[in-house]
Each structure stands twice: as C-alpha cells, then as structure tokens.
Structure 1
Amino acid sequence: MIVYGLSTCDTCRKALKSLPDATLFDVRDRGFPKGLLTRALAAFGSALINTRSTTWRSLPESERTRPALELLNDHPALMKRPLIDDDGTLHLGWTPEVRQALGAA
C-alpha cells in the first residue's frame, strides 16, 4: 500500500500510523509517478484539488484556471491528501469511509 502525500502533512502521518504496511511517497520531493494523476483525476475529478489549501489561495486566478493535470504537476501540495493506492484501488482523504474500507482503526 502506498500513501501519496507530504511528509509534513498531519493527515498523511495519521494514515501511516494506522496503516503499518503502508509507505509514504512524498509527492513534493519526488513528483508523481507516471499515470497516477490521470488515474486519480478519472476517479475523483475536481475533488483531487484541495481548494482550501494555502497553496490554492496563494495562486493567481490565471493559475487556478489551468488544467488540473498541469496544476498538480506544478504544485503537488495542491493535491487533497492522502491519496492511497491499495493494490490498484485508489482512496482519497482520510475519512471514516476510507478508514473502514482499508480496515484501519
């Protein structure tokens, strides 16, 4: 299981603590693996972009209107976190529904 997020994100840390077999893939440091964003955008659409983030609020309006794929590649911290790949099944966020689906406490 792979948790895509940021090493500094409290929510990602909570997910990792509850998923002992998971590993963190820091998208700010390493970028996104090829094809991951396309799959995630197909699954979650605009929900993949965290419009409540400081990064989003600091972007000029001209940046915000760019295609989501380009925006996320240029600003990985905009991704709602965590994005969890459980053997090919993607989960977004750390909601009670995601925790239940993953068997986490």
Structure 2
Amino acid sequence: MTIMFGIPNCDTIKKAKMWLESHNVEYQFHNYRKDGLETQWLAEAESAIGWEKLLNKRGTTFRALSQEQKDNLNRESALALLEAFPAMIKRPIIFTNDQYYVGFSAEEYARIFA
C-alpha cells in the first residue's frame, strides 16, 4: 500500500496526486492537519530520510522562526519543530514498498512505481 503524507492545499501535493491517479497507483492520503502526526511516524521517517531532507526551509512557517531557532537547528530541535509545526515538513512524503521518498518529480515517480 502506498501512503502519501502532506496537506491537501499544497500545490506539490496536488501534482503528485494527479500523477498517481493518472498512472492508476492506488494510495491513501494522510493529512497532517486532519489526521494528526504521530511522534513514532516522524521518528521513523526521519531515520529513513534524515531531518535535513524533511525540513522545508522555503516555507513561510520556517521563515517565521526566530533567528536563534534557525541557528541552533539539530536533529532534536528539528524533530520538535516538525512535530509542533507539520507544515514545515517537505511535501509530499510517499511511503511505498517499505521506503520513504520526499518531494515530487514525475521522473522519480515513474521509477518508483515502474
């Protein structure tokens, strides 16, 4: 089973959903805001991906952090921030075939779901 994690109003999520649907890939969508975010899942995803890849530094939520928070980022502080502010998690995250993938690229999805 393929699971996509994210928030529904994200343009990248919309593109990824369209790709999956047009290629007949069945998936479940996990909305961080509606369905919540479990600490265990976040730790598992971070272990597979790394906190640097999970953290979306281009979003408004990250930019709103204090300079001190940005300057003192490490694994622990990043995980705490990601749990408190799920909008800072890069989107989408796909979990399929026991692996995590971050972001959307039609070429990468073609490879993943070949």
Q: Is the pair's TM-score, using the shorter chain for normalization, greater than 0.5? A: yes
Query: What corresponds to 2:99 in structure 1?
Result: 89
In the aligned structure 2, how far is the partner of 1:44 from the partner of 1:34? Answer: 15
* Matching residue's letter, 2:89: M
Contact 1:31 1:73 in 2 (8 A): no
* Matching residue's letter, 1:99: Y
Query: What corresponds to 1:30 in structure 2?
Result: 35
* Matching residue's letter, 1:94: F
Name which of structure 1's ranges 68-77 and 20-29 shifts more when overlaid on structure 2: 20-29
Question: Could you tell me how far 1:12 is from its partner in structure 2?
Answer: 0.7
In the aligned structure 2, how far is the partner of 1:102 from the partner of 1:15? Answer: 13
Query: What corresponds to 1:50 in structure 2?
Result: 56
Name which of structure 1's ranges 74-83 and 38-47 shifts more when overlaid on structure 2: 38-47
TM-score (norm 2): 0.79
Higher relative contact order (CA 8 A, sep 6+): 2
Question: Could you tell me how far 1:97 is from its partner in structure 2?
Answer: 4.9
Question: Could you tell me how far 1:78 is from its partner in structure 2?
Answer: 0.2
RMSD over aligned Cα, in angstroms?
Answer: 1.9
1:6 has 2:7 as partner: yes
Q: Percent identity?
A: 33
Query: What corresponds to 2:44 in structure 1?
Result: 39
Question: Could you tell me how far 1:63 is from its partner in structure 2?
Answer: 3.4
- Gaps (5+ residues) in structure 1? none
Count of aligned pairs: 104
